Structure 1
Amino acid sequence: MYEVDFVEFPSTSSAASGRFFEHAFGWAVTPYGPEYADVRAAGITFGFQADTAAQAPAPLVTIRTDDLAAARTAVEAAGGVVTVEPFGFPGGRRFHFREPGGNELALWCPEE
């Protein structure tokens, strides 16, 4: 299973970004410390990364899978290059990759 369910945006203030979407659209905000917040919108979650050391240079589309190792094998077999090795975060693990056209995306798997 592969499903786009998350898009992470660089932000100068994750709290301000979260408040905006909460006030403008009534979407629920989940803060994860001072530099990260999730906003849940109809079927997709937006993440706002304010930590400049961890920010992607552009919005980062994130694909959910139920098998991170198999997903990595599929990405590499199709010509993708892993740009960030798998790491844990609250709720799961993910890695970033660049597809042959140059776009960076991420694959994530919920914690078991």
Structure 2
Amino acid sequence: MTNNHINYIEFKTNDLDETKEFYTMAFNWSFTDYGQNYIAFSESGLDGGFEKCADEITNGALIVLYHEDLNKIKDQVIQAKGRITKDIFTFPGGHRFHFLDPSGNELAIWSDK
């Protein structure tokens, strides 16, 4: 893994089973279940996942970058005028935070450290 590179992409879905079935049948992706609200996919060229949500999905993609030092990169994001939307939190596999760039695009940065 390389700092500041796109490492993962996350989508929203209203139905995990339907999503899994579609991407398995259409593209032969593989899935790993993480509880009732999240599935990760592989065999797509770039690993990613689907998060279950009840809301209408208008922009369902979340680009996730990697950085080994979340506190350092979070400070850099803030200094560059990014706005933190979800502070650092723990998830299976590591920690991450979300931010908005100056145009309002939401991205995330994660670390396994």
What band does the TM-score fall into relative to the shorter chain? 0.7 to 0.9
Q: Structure 1: any 5+ residue segments left out of the alignment? A: none
Identify which of 67, 76, 79 aligns with 1:77.
79
Please say if 1:26 is aligned against 2:25: no
TM-score, normalisation: structure 2: 0.86
- Off by >4 Å, runs of 4+ in structure 1: none
Q: Distance between the aligned counterparts of 1:36 and 1:3, measured in 2?
A: 23
Look up the match of 2:19: 17
Q: Distance between the aligned counterparts of 1:68 and 1:52, measured in 2?
A: 29
Look up the match of 2:66: 64
The percent of aligned pairs where both chains have the same amino acid is 33
Report the alpha carbon displacement of residue 8 of structure 1 after superposing the two structures with TM: 1.1
Q: Structure 2 matches for 1:36-75, cutoff 5 A?
A: 36-52=38-54, 57-75=59-77
- Contact 1:18-1:48 within 8 A present in 2 as well: no
Q: Structure 2: any 5+ residue segments left out of the alignment? A: none
Over aligned residues, Cα RMSD in angstroms?
A: 1.9
TM-score, normalisation: structure 1: 0.87
With over 3 angstroms needed to count, the CA separation of the structure-2 counterparts of 1:69 and 1:90, relative to structure 1, is same
With over 3 angstroms needed to count, the CA separation of the structure-2 counterparts of 1:104 and 1:78, relative to structure 1, is same
- Contact 1:84-1:96 within 8 A present in 2 as well: yes
How many residues matched?
A: 110
User: What CA deviation, in whole Å up to 9, does each residue of 1:51-71 have, x standing for no partner?
Assistant: 348x89531111111111111
